[in-house]
Structure formats: structure tokens, C-alpha cells
Amino acid sequence: MDPNQQPQDFNKPNEPTENPSAPQMGAPAQSDFSQPAPDFSGNPEAVTPPPVSQPFGQPVEANQPLAPQPSFTSPQVAPVNQPPVSSGENPGQVLGIVSIVMSVIGLSLIGLILGVISRKKSKAVGASTTLGTIGMVMGIVFTVIGFMFFLLITLVAYGGIQDRAKDVSAETNATMVEKKAEAYYATTYSYPATIADFEKDGVSSLSKLDFTVNTTTPTDYKTVKYVQCSNDGAQVIYYSAKTETIVIKPLGTASSLVAC
């Protein structure tokens, strides 16, 4: 035995070897991911450790910060029935101008339709509907005026057609009386002196006619005047509704200008 060696006390546990890097027996091992301990020394620059996320299903201890929750953004709902914002362009402007031109040149019905379409297009984008409104109003006004003018022309034309029909009818009646008088003259060598003389011969009879024959001045297309000027001459007179004058048809030696 070495005299300089200290006796070993077997009743005292062995002291651990001083190795700062080796873990101490009985002490918990330090994790590589451990966070630094908070500094409670009153230093304002002390770093606060981040909150620890709590596993799902485990209770949260008091004074323990909660884990950040995901945020949800509600979907944006588009506004309803909001008028569109005008982009500066007016799609109904050209149609409005065309509708005004159509109304001016006489195509008012087309101008009216184009004016309505122009207003609809301009209103859809929130633009001005002035031109479309002007075209529509002009179309309505000119259409009414045109219809009234057309109706007036139609009435005048219808009246003229009626007058022409009456003239034709009056001239036809006068011609028929002329033929009856000529038939009478063919058998007697003399024109009838009175209206009753026409009934002496069946060929010259006036009984089946649908108009009146007398010796008075006619005032309508259904009346014919007959006058004997001489045995060799007579006149058949009728009224012209178109010219509102008396027309003389001469027979034999009678005059066509002066009544007998």
C-alpha cells in the first residue's frame, strides 16, 4: 500500500466525475429543442417564450395561453339590384340619332321602334337616355300625324271614288233612256212627247228601270230628265256628282249646250 494514498471510505458514495457535457445521474436530460427559461429579473428585454399548442382533447390549464386559431373570412355577397356603373360609353346613342332621322324623313314608325330600343340600351348601362327619348317622342308624334294624314287622304279618295261611281251610274241611266227614246223613234219616226209615250211600246218601256225619269231638273245620280225639243230632236239630262253640273245628251237635231 502506498503510504500517500488516502484511505477509501466505502460508506460514502462515489462522487461523480466532473464532466460538464455528460448528463448528471438522477437529473432529467436536457432536450436539444428546449426553450430558454424566462427571465424574471425585471429585465424589460427579456424574451417571452411562445405559447405551447395544447393537444386536441386535453383540458387547458389556467393562465396558459391558447393556441392561435385559424381565421375564416366570410364570402363577399354581391349587392342586389344595384344599377350598373356607367363606363362613359352610351350604346344607345347611335340608335337615338337614327330614330330622330327616321322620324324626320317620314319613317316615323321605324323611328319609334329604334327610339325604344335606344332607351333600353342606354338605361342598361346607366347612361343618358335623352336621344332615345327624343327619337321615341318624335316617332309617336309623326306616326299620329302620318296616320291622320293617311286617313284624310283615304276619305278624300273614297269620296272621289264614290262621286265617280255616281257619275258612271247617272251617265249609264241617261244612256238607257236615250236608247229607249231612239227605239221609240225607230217605230214612230218621232221622239216621245211625254214620259207616258215610252209605255206605248214594250221596247221603249221605262217601267223596269231602277231610277226615275221625269221632266224636272235632276239633283242626284238616280234621276234623269227627258224633254222633247221637236219630232226630230230631244234631250236627256242628268246630274254629275263629280263636277256638280248638269250634263245634256242631245238626241237627233237637239242641242247639247242649251236645254229645250
pLDDT 10s digits, 25-50: 544 445 444 455 555 555 555 555 55
Over its C-alpha atoms, the chain yields an Rg (Å, rounded) of 62
**Neighbouring residues of 64: CB distance < 8 A, sequence distance ≥ 6:** 51, 52, 54
Distance CA 221, CA 239 (A): 6
Are the C-beta atoms of residues 111 and 100 closer than 8 Å to each other? Answer: yes
Q: In the structure, what pLDDT confidence band is assigned to residue 251 with cuts at 50, 70 and 90?
A: very high
Q: What local confidence, expressed as pLDDT, does residue 89 receive?
A: 83
Neighbours of 176 (CB within 10 A): 16
Residue 240 lies in a domain: yes
Pick the more confident residue, 159 or 12.
159
Are the C-beta atoms of residues 173 and 224 closer than 8 Å to each other? Answer: yes
Q: The domain containing residue 113 runs over which residues?
A: 93-158
CA atoms 4, 10, 11, 13: torsion sign: positive
User: Which of 205, 185, 186, 203 is closest to 195 using CA atoms?
Assistant: 205
Please indicate, yes or no, whether residues 101 and 136 belong to a single structural domain of this protein.
yes
Q: What local confidence, expressed as pLDDT, does residue 227 receive?
A: 95
**Domain-ending residue, one of 158, 180, 195:** 158
pLDDT 10s digits, 165-201: 888 999 999 999 999 999 999 999 999 999 999 999 8
Q: What local confidence, expressed as pLDDT, does residue 106 receive?
A: 86
Please indicate, yes or no, whether residues 100 and 128 belong to a single structural domain of this protein.
yes
Distance CA 231, CA 233 (A): 6
Q: What local confidence, expressed as pLDDT, does residue 47 receive?
A: 52
Which residues does residue 251 pair with via DSSP β-bridges, in sequence order? 234
Q: In the structure, what pLDDT confidence band is assigned to residue 208 with cuts at 50, 70 and 90?
A: confident
Please indicate, yes or no, whether residues 116 and 179 belong to a single structural domain of this protein.
no
Residue 119 lies in a domain: yes
User: Which of 193, 150, 227, 229 is closest to 237 using CA atoms?
Assistant: 227
Mean pLDDT, all residues of the chain: 78
The mean per-residue pLDDT over the stretch 80-103 comes to 76
Q: In the structure, what pLDDT confidence band is assigned to residue 1 with cuts at 50, 70 and 90?
A: very low
